[in-house]
Amino acid sequence: MVELAKLEPLPDFVNLAYAILLIVGGIFGFFRVGSIISLSTGLISGIIIAVFTLLGLQFKTLVVACCSLVIAIVMGIRFYNSGIFLPPGLLCILSLLVLAVQGYQYYKTRSLN
């Protein structure tokens, strides 16, 4: 049986909320406009973040930071090109906030786990 890791209050709550947002957003994007890309990227990134957080896998902070950075860059470019705030602008801002939380976690613990 897989044992869940001891969760850190702030970073792990933020990680799980972000993972849920990505999964739900991907599903919503699929049903709203039929976007397979939205569905696949939302599910894949959300599941990766949730699994690393819940299981406390090695390099959790690094993996979440990389996922959020990639999403922030992609959504920032989409926001810049379209000028539409929802969802790319909002997701860019939220991804940068998650990245900041990961940076704080690294600063506090000096560990990428």
**Which residue's entry shows tokens 């930071």?**
65
Q: Taking residues 66-83, report their average pLDDT.
A: 96
pLDDT in the model for residue 31 = 95
3-state secondary structure the chain: CCCCCCCCHHHHHHHHHHHHHHHHHHHHHHHHHCCHHHHHHHHHHHHHHHHHHHHCCCCHHHHHHHHHHHHHHHHHHHHHHHCCHHHHHHHHHHHHHHHHHHHHHHHHHCCCC
Please say whether the beta carbons of 82 and 88 come within 8 A. yes
State mean pLDDT over 68-76. Answer: 97
Poorest-pLDDT segment among 36-40, 60-64, 67-71, 108-112 = 108-112
pLDDT band of 5, cuts 50, 70, 90: low
Residue 3 has what pLDDT?
Answer: 64
Look up the pTM and report it.
Answer: 0.90
